[in-house]
Amino acid sequence: MGARRELKRRRSESPGLARAAAANAGDSAAPRDRGWYNPDRRKGRNRPPKPYRRWFEAEGDRSLSSSKGDSFLLISYNILGDNNAFNHRDLYWNIPCDIMKWNSRKGLICREIIHWNADLVCLQEVDRYEDILVHMKRKEYAGCYKGRSGDAKDGCAIFWKEKRFRLLEEESIDFSSIGLRNNVAQLLVFEVDEASKLVVGNIHVLFNPKRGDIKLGQIRMFLLKADALSRKWDSIPILLAGDFNSTPDSAIYKFLSTSELNISEHDRRHLSGMDNCQFGLYAFPSFLKFKWTNDEVRNATGYSKSEQVKHPLKLRSSYATIQGNARTRGPQGEPLATSYHSKFLGTVDYIWYSTGLECRKVLDTLPIDTLRKTGGLPTKEMGSDHLALVAEFVFTEPSELDHPHSTDDSAEEETIISKSV
């Protein structure tokens, strides 16, 4: 039977069926068959971002650990500010212009953030906050932004899933107000699932590899303020994400992980390790013995007479606590690289956590040879010159010995905060 005669026969039997048959038979007058709209089926929506990265989980029997509540996921991601991408063309000279454009990078960055479906998202080098907020709002995130002072156009942003996290307090640090350059940091206090509370910090530390004194001062201040907020809310756990512009073999990393440092044992110009990473082209001659000035000592330690600097937290770095792929990890257990462009290949991004939290898994970074093959980031698949760090955490049951601070003398620390500006 011909298609049109069949159509006529069906039309008389069932008008609905006939309309569908008409569409199939190519009858342009009939409405086309309509499927249900599923936004997640749209091209690329649900596929993991490329290149493929594996999850690594904590070892050991989970049932033995004293976790409470559901786990939650955090992303820390330096997204490469539009202005920095434009102003530092020399770092990206080999990257095609169309890849560097914000409009092409924005889609990759937002898709990646949304794909991991994290509960907390800490971004650095954000100068197009509104562009990102639009996407995040659609996925039921709320956000807040702290821009850098001075001429800089970028800043830090934190987004959180409103269904799980309720904002209790918001604080930001403008380091220029205490003479430590125009970088910024954010500290937020959340109630999670109406059961636990948490301090979340986000920082983008000064880049200048020579100014270890300022970098150390910024980080010291960030940790002191996080500690003070934690104590204010009854010693709640702390999560600190960001681009610390310091490498894992540096004195600044040692300060973060061991809570103390004697700066007289180090050269200010080498304090952040940015001069001797995989191929840091920021090396400085070190044949002259470096002497700290009083101002530099005060920037670093908070006191011009003290060369010893301490912080009050017990911190662990999430990637270093989870064993990963030998091809992606260095001697400290940190990723070999979280950032790559024509002048730098190395690790500067971290997610630190205090007691009261346990890191359950991390999203692996990429091997050096995979990164080198790209010739430099960003690429047409990766929107920034940094990789997004993603880690999953659980709250642990509090024990007598387990509080986020290494000392319990809050009065002493409050004095340090007020004096060390």
25 binds ligand KL2 (CB under 6 A): no
84 binds ligand KL2 (CB under 6 A): yes
| Candidate list 25, 71, 88, 210; residue touching ligand KL2; CB under 6 A | 88
> Measured on CA atoms in the order 131, 135, 136, 137, is the torsion positive or negative?
positive
Span of 84-92, 296-304, 310-318, 387-395 interacting with ligand KL2 by CB under 6 A: 84-92
Q: Which is nearer to ligand KL2, 53 or 181 (CB)?
A: 181
Residue type, 346: G
Residue 246 tokens, joined: 């310091």
Q: Which is nearer to ligand KL2, 165 or 282 (CB)?
A: 282
Residues 103-142 binding ligand KL2 (CB under 6 A) are: none
Report helix, strand and coil shares of the chain as percent, to nearest 5.
30, 25, 40
250 binds ligand KL2 (CB under 6 A): no
91 binds ligand KL2 (CB under 6 A): yes
Of 388, 375, 390, 392, which Cα lies nearest the Cα of 338? 388
Question: Do the bridges between strand 155-161 and strand 141-147 make them parallel or antiparallel, or are there none, so unpaired?
Answer: antiparallel
Give me Rg for the CA atoms of the chain: 25
* Angle, helix 251-258 to helix 212-232, in steps of 10 degrees: 20
Q: Which is nearer to ligand KL2, 10 or 386 (CB)?
A: 386
Question: To the nearest whole angstrom, how small is the minimum distance from the Cβ of residue 205 to ligand KL2?
Answer: 8
245 binds ligand KL2 (CB under 6 A): yes
DSSP 307: -
Question: To the nearest whole angstrom, how small is the minimum distance from the Cβ of residue 152 to ligand KL2?
Answer: 7
Q: Which is nearer to ligand KL2, 195 or 281 (CB)?
A: 281
Residue type, 261: L
284 binds ligand KL2 (CB under 6 A): no
Residues 361, 408 contacting (CB under 8 angstroms): no
Alpha helix positions (H), 25-170: 82-87, 97-100, 102-116, 129-138
Name residues whose C-beta falls within 8 Å of residue 197's C-beta, 6 or more positions apart in sequence.
168, 189, 190, 191, 233, 234, 236
243 binds ligand KL2 (CB under 6 A): yes
Question: To the nearest whole angstrom, how small is the minimum distance from the Cβ of residue 243 to ligand KL2?
Answer: 4
Q: Which is nearer to ligand KL2, 243 or 267 (CB)?
A: 243
DSSP 250: S
207 binds ligand KL2 (CB under 6 A): yes
β partners of residue 174: 184
First to last CA, the chain: 90
Question: To the nearest whole angstrom, how small is the minimum distance from the Cβ of residue 269 to ligand KL2?
Answer: 15
Residue 162 tokens, joined: 């409103």
246 binds ligand KL2 (CB under 6 A): no
Question: To the nearest whole angstrom, how small is the minimum distance from the Cβ of residue 277 to ligand KL2?
Answer: 11
Question: To the nearest whole angstrom, how small is the minimum distance from the Cβ of residue 319 to ligand KL2?
Answer: 17
78 binds ligand KL2 (CB under 6 A): yes
Of 188, 167, 181, 187, which Cα lies nearest the Cα of 216? 181
| Candidate list 247, 339, 342, 379; residue touching ligand KL2; CB under 6 A | 339
Q: Contact letters (x/-) for ligand KL2, 152-191, by CB under 6 A?
A: ----------------------------------------
Strand segments (E) across 276-403: 308-310, 316-317, 339-341, 344-346, 349-353, 357-363, 389-396
CB atoms within 10 A of CB 101: 13
247 binds ligand KL2 (CB under 6 A): no
Q: How many residues bind ligand KL2 (CB under 6 A)?
A: 10
Q: Which is nearer to ligand KL2, 161 or 204 (CB)?
A: 204
The residue whose Cβ lies closest to ligand KL2 is: 207
Sites of contact with ligand KL2 (CB under 6 A): 78, 84, 88, 91, 207, 243, 245, 339, 343, 348
